[in-house]
Amino acid sequence: MKSIKETSNTLFVLLKKHTPLLIVTHENPDGDAIGAVFGLKAFLNYHSLSSTVLLNTSLPLAYENLISKEEYENLANPGDLSEYKGIVVLDSANISRTVLKEFTSSSKNTAIFNIDHHVSNDLFGDYNWVEPWWSSTCEGLVRLLKGEQVLPKETAKLFLMGILTDTGYLTFSAAGPDTLEIVTHLFKIGASISEIHRAVKENMNKNQLKLWGYAIYNCQYEDEYGIIWSAIPNQVYSTLQVKEGDSEGLVEFFRRYRNCRLALLFREVEPSKLRVSLRSKGEVDVNTLASIWGGGGHPRAAGFTVSGEVSTVLNEILNIIKGKIGVWNH
């Protein structure tokens, strides 16, 4: 496997050699993943390079004002991919978290480009740009592409959206001076922080507000461990007619609790299938915790997926986590 970390020209030239390109990201994409795939597509469009974005879901409500539905295909099980010379996988630690679960590069004459910032990335690509010090995959893309290639305003806006949503609007520790320099660069191109905030953070409909209300009203506190958590049954998503992505940001909201050491959100996205999001204020390494169940991410933000009856699985997970982190002595 080739692993390359070179100049912006390296990535641009390689992408140009491998068009048409397919662009994918992880399941249940968050703001960084969405900003990365659509920002890269806008960049490729500007430079007259053919590409297709493939998702396994429709866009969460928060991003519908920024991205046209015509900009991507929504396919849970893609067919023949032989028409693509290159596949760009963004913001995903492994192939199994994408729509390409069954894809193997050895059976296709297709190059895999792996661009990510998760410490748990397993370097699955033919070409890998993986830097855990990037605040977000979008920050990494700016660094890889900004060289002598022009970043159009649309790309700048989407990349900035990814950076802002993955850094809590520059409040997380991952957003250091280097990240602020990148944000300034995008701002000068024409991206607007206030526009992005209005589109993403001030765009809830009534049912999404009810979803958040349900999770907040039913949250549980275990102060002896510094844990706050909530669970959303699949029936709630169905009744309110909301998407899984409409709960994005909830677990970060729980981290605001003053006694929080670890925040968890359990989402039953399908009957007996749970996605678990973990957030820490820094004392607990949630990437290590998530790896117990085959997940991963970052020391302060990670997740994993498990199957089983909700109450049983939820209690098992909480008991294991309590045993790992111990009682919190205030």
How far is Cα 287 from Cα 174, in angstroms, rounded to an integer? 15
Phi, psi of 151, rounded to the nearest 5 degrees = -95, 115
* Domain 8-201: assigned CATH number: 3.90.1640.10
Q: What fold, for 206-325?
A: Diaminopimelate Epimerase; Chain A, domain 1 (3.10.310)
On the 0-12 / 13-18 / 19+ scale of CB atoms within 10 A, 48 is exposed
pLDDT of residue 1: 36
Contact predicate 154/41, CB 8 Å: no
Region of 38 on the Ramachandran plot (φ > 0 left; ψ -120 to 50 alpha; else beta)? alpha
- Residue for token digits 């070409």? 127
**Sheet strands (E) in 179-272:** 220-222, 227-232, 262-270
Which CA distances in Å does 71 have to 41, 160, 186, 271? 9, 18, 22, 30
Tokens (6 digits) for 120: 């748990």
How far is Cα 317 from Cα 325, in angstroms, rounded to an integer? 12
Other beta carbons within 10 angstroms of residue 165's beta carbon come to 26
pLDDT of residue 7: 43
Which CA distances in Å does 164 have to 34, 43, 182? 12, 19, 11
Per-block mean pLDDT, blocks of 10 residues, the chain (330 long) = 49 93 91 95 94 85 79 72 91 87 61 92 91 95 87 95 93 89 95 92 90 97 94 94 86 93 94 93 91 89 91 93 77
Q: Which helix (H) or strand (E) holds 237?
A: helix 234-240
Contact predicate 159/141, CB 8 Å: yes
How far is Cα 286 from Cα 78, in angstroms, rounded to an integer? 32
Contact predicate 310/268, CB 8 Å: yes
Strands 86-90 and 21-25: parallel
Strands 127-130 and 73-74: unpaired
pLDDT of residue 92: 93
Per domain, the residue ranges of the chain are: 8-201, 206-325
| CATH topology agreement for domains 8-201 and 206-325 | no
